[in-house]
A and B are shown apart, each in its own frame.
Chain A
Amino acid sequence: MKNDLESLFKPKSVAVIGASRDPSKLGYAVLKNIVDSGYRGRVYPVNPQADNIMGLKAYKSVLDIPDDVDVAVFVIPAPIVPEVLEECGRKGVKYAVIISAGFKEVGGEGVEREKRVVEIAKKYGVRVLGPNILGLIDTHTPINASFAYMPPRGGIAFVSQSGAYLSAIIDWSVKTGIGFSKIVSLGNKADLNEVDFIEYLANDSETKVILLYLESIANPRKFIEVASEAVRKKPVILIKGGMTEAGARAALSHTGSLAGGPQIVQAAMKKAGIVLVSEPTEFFDSAIAFSLTSSLPGDRIAIVTNAGGPGVMTADLVALAGLRLAQLTPQTISYLRSKLPPMAALNNPIDVIGDAKADRYEVALDAVLNDPNVDAAIVIFTPQVISEPEKTAEVIIEMQKKYPQKPILAAFIGGPRVEKAIEILKSAGIPVYESNDRVVAALAIMNRYRVMRERVMKIAEALNELSSLANVDKRCVEAIIDRVRSDGRRVLLESEAKDLVKCYGVAVAPTKLARTEEEAVRIANELGYPVVLKIASPDITHKTDVGGVIMNVKSDSEVEDAFRTIIANVRRYAPQAAIHGVVVQKMVPKGREVIIGTTKDPEFGHLIMFGLGGIYTELFRDVSFRLAPLSTYEAREMIAETKAYTLLKGFRGEKPADIESIVNTLLRVSKLVIDVPQIVEMDINPLFVYDEGAGSLAIDVKIVIE
């Protein structure tokens, strides 16, 4: 059965199960919506108690319909959904859009009921949307199979995990003139989820931008995969609910989802190239821009304004948003000087001043858009006595036609005097905003998308050229893990952890576990003095705090003494800790300390962290995060992202550190956790990094398995 969602959005026939003649019932509203939306396919109301609803022949069961049914919309009570789904399955229905609530989201038997629905659907090959949704809307088909109002048509596809929010947005869109291509309410995501829709919408010519509201991500890895594919073609913008603790708690009661922490979500979105926004206005302001204009070719912005103040403010905002004020060429400037009054400001922002009519705007816009140093333009209009708002609007429309590759965004600031102009711009598909901060915010997000997209392409390239790392032995790792497990532990001893990373080619300071004083002496002699003795206990994370580390041990008698002291200290300061012995490690020369860590997020998989050691990580939190698997591009990027990178590069006469070695270690760590996902936590802290060319050594490694 072909599951490309084509028949879901453009069905030839729709059955409404639970259609009703009673205007107070949902079954009535949904049927009416389908009919009123202008749907041109065949509609079959299904209701055992009616022959005719809204002038359409009604059937007692879907099995009685003398036709194929592409989509069946369920508006019946939850308890009878499974058996009706069974009928649909036998009928050969392709998609079940289950609006009914009363499934997993209510717990108890709802969970069982949803399981049954999934089983039945699988049995017959029916794809399920929902349950517990608002419905589905496609403005191009057109079809409104939901109990929300039909929104205006446009290029935005909105996929949302909250049904109620959708309704509100649709209402708001009518006011603001945003147009949607498709609206999908995901509900409990029993079958179809965001991954399926992103994949479809990426290739949908009617959709220019994909908006997502999600509280949980069904299959995070696949999500990142399909999203990064989609991002190459069009922007994907996400508001994720549950980013803060409070939000997470609220989200949990919504559809039974577990929210991941903010860093991980950011890292995942970055990897996927998804633009993550936190405010709904950003969400929609940028969606308007994306759906109407072409993509931003660069970040150099020209501002054309008839009021100096707003112009300057906008310039500030542009800079703060990470965009650049375009440097106009001397030719453009001299051209502008020749055409505009002497008081006009020419150095971007171009102030055509308060007495400007539409013609000055035309001149200015034409000139800046023609300038090779300009990627996009912001037009600011304030209604002055002589201004011609509508004519100016027409000018903008014309200019956009003349320069289709460079987006023009407008801010028409005012009240009744600019209303008509705004309407004109809207109908012509020019993004227009009520204030300069919103237009800049929209442009900023367009730029973020541009940067994300470039990055996604670079990462894909880098992953392709990543040659397989030498010296990786998965079986060596698994053997160590098996031994730890058979010992009934989850936390590896330092010696075990170091052996484990060695299996993947990470250089470690030589370390061995000693269970007795005698053994410690033997190992010390084997490794060579001086040595460090450290307590080996899975229960102790901060060894120095409990007196569990003694450095610079230089002789056999010192080893015995240190061994005894450490045991005594630990027994005193951490009496509950299980002691497995003492590790003896060869002392190595000191290098620059960095920390490389990984932690496994239940949703997104392994998050890799990098930072400079000591106070840089602990106090300044100067760390960077990326989601595994890491490409060389990302590894280099995450190191360069930290403020302490300057120190690593070589600062004030200090030689540069062996950054390649850090990159290498990051890649090996990434490969390790991808190959052996049972490693849920790993910390190499510190990793001593020596001068360029001299490599690095892991001094302490902590690993926790699941």
Chain B
Amino acid sequence: MVKSIFLFGEKGKTIIAYGILKKLILDGYKGCYFKPIAKARYRLPSLKYVDPDVIAVKDALGLQEPIEYLNPVTITRNIIELRRDLDNVKKMIMESYSKICEGRDVIVIEGYPNPEALSSIGLSSAELAKMLNAKAVFLVNVKERDVVDELADRIQLYKCFFEHQGYSLSGVILNNVPMYYIERVNDVIVPVLEEKGLNIYGIIPEKPSLTAPTVRDIVEALNAEVIENRDRLTNIVEDIVVGAMAPSAALRWFRRAVNAAIVTGGDRTDLIMAALETKPSVIILTGNLYPDISVLTKAREVGVPILLVPYDTYTTVEKLREVQSITTSDSLKAKESELIRTISENLNMKKLLE
């Protein structure tokens, strides 16, 4: 009997799903990923009409199944029109699902980005979970709330919603908990949730390095030219620092940043040299201004990748911010060990698989 976990809710689903699967696979389970309905995004230029998250997980886990089985339904613009074709859609989902269940013990199913998605046409998270006979787990992103107690309200809402649809919400995973909320979450919020009969499958503390992109992700997203240290693209980028000040002040700024992407004009040799001293994850040169030879020599010495982009600094930083929210197979693999450690320490896998 294949066990399945339906993970829906807020930001962080893909990474957590990947982490859970990876851990299970390491523990000897035969696991697979399934995303019944996905939103197609055009962010990465080489892909069309597919959800890049699915590609990321497929590549990172090395899943052999074709994309259509892992993700049978994609939505580009319209949802309501699907209502006419509802039976067919449900059939497609069930067929793909049974295909990937073959020879597997555990399936981790990821829901659509918004938890209430497709409720208007009868394909809500509750419906899907019921259809796939999966354990429904709500993933909460604790950090994004000013008033942390609000998460209990939201969970209550979904609990009621599920019950209304004739299915039950098994429990929650509280993800991305900042250190100043941990006390309150543990002492005040968790008891309230448990009172309601919900299982707390995990309380995962905030770990910024897990959401950070790699230099390769950035190269692709920015369409950048790599002009030095092509073999260092797996560095993760956790911070963005813009170099625009005098070099003496710059050194003090750059030193404080860990795993940073330092963005500056290619003609600012003085700043770039200062930046190289602090060994950041990557230096991005803007305005298509090719740097001085001395810069490249030094970059080679210290092993920092140098990228060249045609945009100005502001545009470059905006694009960098967008990359920070995309998952790619590269970044998943780069964070694997930390992710697995975090999951092992903070998630109750045993309870999850009951």
Say yes or no: is B296 at the interface (Cβ < 8 Å to chain A).
yes
Contacts of A515 in B (CB 8 A): 179, 182-183
Contacts of B297 in A (CB 8 A): 104, 107, 111, 256
Rounded to whole Å, the gap between the CB of A608 and the closest CB of chain B is 15
Q: Is A646 an interface residue (CB 8 A)?
A: no
- Which residue in chain B gives the minimum CB-CB distance to A489? B258
9 sample A-B contacts, Cβ–Cβ < 8 Å, listed by A number: A107-B293, A107-B296, A261-B248, A489-B258, A516-B183, A518-B183, A538-B256, A580-B179, A681-B252
Query: Interface with B: A31-39, A135-143, A245-253, A551-559, which one?
Result: A245-253
Whether B116 is near chain A, meaning CB under 8 Å from some CB there, is no
Contacts of B178 in A (CB 8 A): 579
Q: Is A581 an interface residue (CB 8 A)?
A: yes
CB distance from B46 to the nearest CB of A (A): 31
Chain A proximity of B317: nearest CB distance (Å): 13
CB 8 Å contact bits of B198-226 with A (1 = contact, 0 = none):
00000000001100000000000000000
* Contact of A490 with B270 in the complex, beta carbons under 8 Å: no
Q: Is the CB of B183 within 8 A of A704?
A: no
Partner of B179, one of A107, A538, A579, A681: A579
Contact with B along A253-276 (1 / 0, CB 8 A): 100111001000000000000000
Chain B residue nearest to A601 in the complex (CB): B251
Determine the chain B residues whose CB is within 8 A of the CB of A538 once the complex forms.
256
Instruction: Give, as a whole number of angstroms, the nearest-CB distance from B246 to chain A.
Output: 7
Q: Across the interface, do B294 and A252 meet the contact criterion of CB distance under 8 Å?
A: yes
- Say whether B296 contacts A681, CB under 8 Å: no
Contacts of A490 in B (CB 8 A): 255-258
Q: A437 within 8 Å of B by Cβ?
A: no
Whether, in the assembled complex, A77 has its beta carbon less than 8 Å from a beta carbon of chain B, the answer is no
Within 8 A of A (CB), among B247-290: 247-248, 251-252, 255-259, 269-270, 273, 277-279
A108: CB under 8 A from chain B? yes
Knowing A252-B270, A256-B294, A490-B258 are in contact, say whether A581-B180 is a contact too (CB < 8 A). yes
Whether B294 contacts A107 by the Cβ 8 Å rule is yes
On whether the beta carbons of B294 and A704 are closer than 8 Å, the reply is no
8 Å CB interface, A89-146 against B: 104, 106-108, 111
Quick check: B255 and A258 within 8 Å, CB to CB?
no
Complex Cα distance, B209 from A249, in Å, reads: 36
Residue B292 interfacial (CB < 8 Å): yes
Q: Which of B209, B257, B273 contacts A258 (CB 8 A)?
A: B273
Using C-beta atoms within 8 Å of the partner chain, give the interface range for chain A: 35 or more
Chain B's nearest CB lies how many Å from the CB of A547? 15
Tell me if A488 and B209 are in contact (CB < 8 A).
yes
Q: Which residue of A lies closest to B186 (CB)?
A: A516
Whole-angstrom distance between the Cβ of B168 and the nearest chain A Cβ: 34
Residue of B whose beta carbon sits closest to that of A563: B180
Knowing A567-B180, A578-B208 are in contact, say whether A704-B293 is a contact too (CB < 8 A).
Answer: no
CB atoms of B246 and A245 under 8 A apart: yes
CA distance in complex: A631, B247 (Å):
29
Q: Would B293 and A106 count as touching, CB distance under 8 A?
A: yes
Is A635 an interface residue when CB atoms closer than 8 A count as contact? Answer: no
- Encode contact with A along B175-192: 1 for CB under 8 Å, 0 otherwise: 000111011000000000
Instruction: Answer yes or no: A72 CB below 8 A from chain B CBs.
Output: no
Min CB–CB distance B335 → chain A (angstroms): 12
* A601 CB to nearest B CB, Å: 8
Contact between chains at A256 and B293 (CB < 8 Å) = yes
Residue numbers in A under 8 Å from B208 (CB-CB): 578
Closest Cβ of chain A: how far from B170's Cβ, in Å? 30
Query: Which of B179, B257, B270 makes the CB contact (< 8 A) with A245?
Result: B270
Query: What residues of chain B lie closer than 8 Å to A581, measured between beta carbons?
Result: 179-180
* Chain B residues, CB < 8 A from A491: 256
Report how far A681 CA is from B257 CA in the complex, Å.
Answer: 13
Beyond A489-B258, A515-B179, A579-B180, whether A249 also contacts B270 by CB under 8 A is yes
Query: What's the minimum C-beta distance from A430 to chain B, rounded to whole angstroms?
Result: 44
- Interface residues, chain B, CB within 8 Å of chain A? 146, 178-180, 182-183, 208-209, 246-248, 251-252, 255-259, 269-270, 273, 277-279, 292-294, 296-297
Q: How many A-B residue pairs have CB under 8 A?
A: 69
Interchain CA distance A104-B258 in the complex, whole Å: 31
Set of chain B residues within 8 Å of A108, measured between Cβ atoms: 293
Task: Tell me the A448-504 residues at the B interface (CB within 8 Å).
Answer: 488-491
Q: What's the Cα separation between A570 and B207 when bound, in Å?
A: 19
* A681-B294 contact, Cβ under 8 Å, with A567-B180, A579-B178, A580-B179: no
Q: Does A680 contact B (CB under 8 A)?
A: yes
Which residues from chain B contact A578 at a C-beta distance below 8 Å?
208
Determine the distance from Cα of A647 to Cα of B8 in the docked complex, in whole angstroms.
66
Q: List 7 other contacts, CB 8 Å, given A491-B256, A704-B256.
A: A107-B293, A107-B294, A252-B294, A488-B258, A517-B183, A602-B251, A681-B252
A548 to B161, CA, bound (A): 41
Which of A108, A516, A581, A599 counts the most chain B CB atoms within 10 A? A516
CA distance A253 to B291 in the complex (A): 11
Asked if A706 and B255 sit within 8 Å, CB to CB, the answer is yes
User: In chain A between 530 and 578, which residues have their CB closer than 8 angstroms to a CB of chain B?
Assistant: 538-539, 567, 571, 578
Chain B residues with Cβ below 8 Å from A680 are 255
Chain A residues near B293 (CB-CB < 8 A):
106-108, 256
Residues of B within 8 A of A488 (CB): 209, 258-259
The verdict on A253 contacting B292 (CB below 8 Å), with A107-B297, A488-B209, A602-B277 known, is yes
- The complex places the Cα of A248 from the Cα of B178 at a distance, in Å, of 45
Shortest A486–chain B CB gap in Å is 12
Contact A706 B183 (CB under 8 A): no
- A704–B255 contact, CB under 8 A? yes
Cβ distance B304 to chain A, nearest Cβ, rounded Å: 14
Contact partners of B258 in chain A: CB under 8 A: 488-490
Cα of A673 to Cα of B330 in the assembled complex, Å: 39
Tell me the minimal C-beta distance from B61 to chain A in angstroms: 26
Give the distance in Å from the alpha carbon of A681 to the alpha carbon of B248 in the complex: 13
Contacts of B257 in A (CB 8 A): 490
CA distance A124 to B57 in the complex (A): 57
The CA-CA distance from A567 to B181 in the complex, in Å, is 10
**Would you give the shortest CB distance from B244 to chain A, in whole angstroms?**
14
Given A245-B246, A579-B178, A602-B277 in contact, is the A252-B255 Cβ separation under 8 Å?
A: no
Q: Which residues of B contact A253 (CB under 8 A)?
A: 292, 294
**Looking at A489, A490, A517, which has the most chain B CB atoms within 10 Å of its CB?**
A490
Query: CA A279 – CA B258 in complex, angstroms?
Result: 42
Interface centre among A245, A489, A578 (most CB of B within 10 A): A578
- For B269, list chain A residues within 8 Å (CB): 249, 252
**A269 to B183 Cα, complex, angstroms:** 55
CA distance A567 to B180 in the complex (A): 8
CB distance from B153 to the nearest CB of A (A): 20
List the B side residues contacting A256 at CB < 8 Å.
293-294, 297
- With a CB–CB cut-off of 8 A, which chain A residues contact B279? 706
Q: Distance in Å from the Cβ of A105 to the closest Cβ of chain B?
A: 9
Name the residue on B nearest A487 (C-beta): B258
Interfacial chain A residues near B247, Cβ < 8 Å: 245, 248, 261
Shortest CB-to-CB span from B182 to chain A, Å, is 8
* Cβ–Cβ < 8 Å partners of B270 in chain A: 245, 248-249, 252
Contact B252 A599 (CB under 8 A): yes
What are the nearest 5 A-B pairs in CB distance?
A: A107-B293, A256-B294, A516-B183, A261-B248, A567-B180
Inside 8 A of B179's CB, which chain A residues have their CB? 515, 579-581
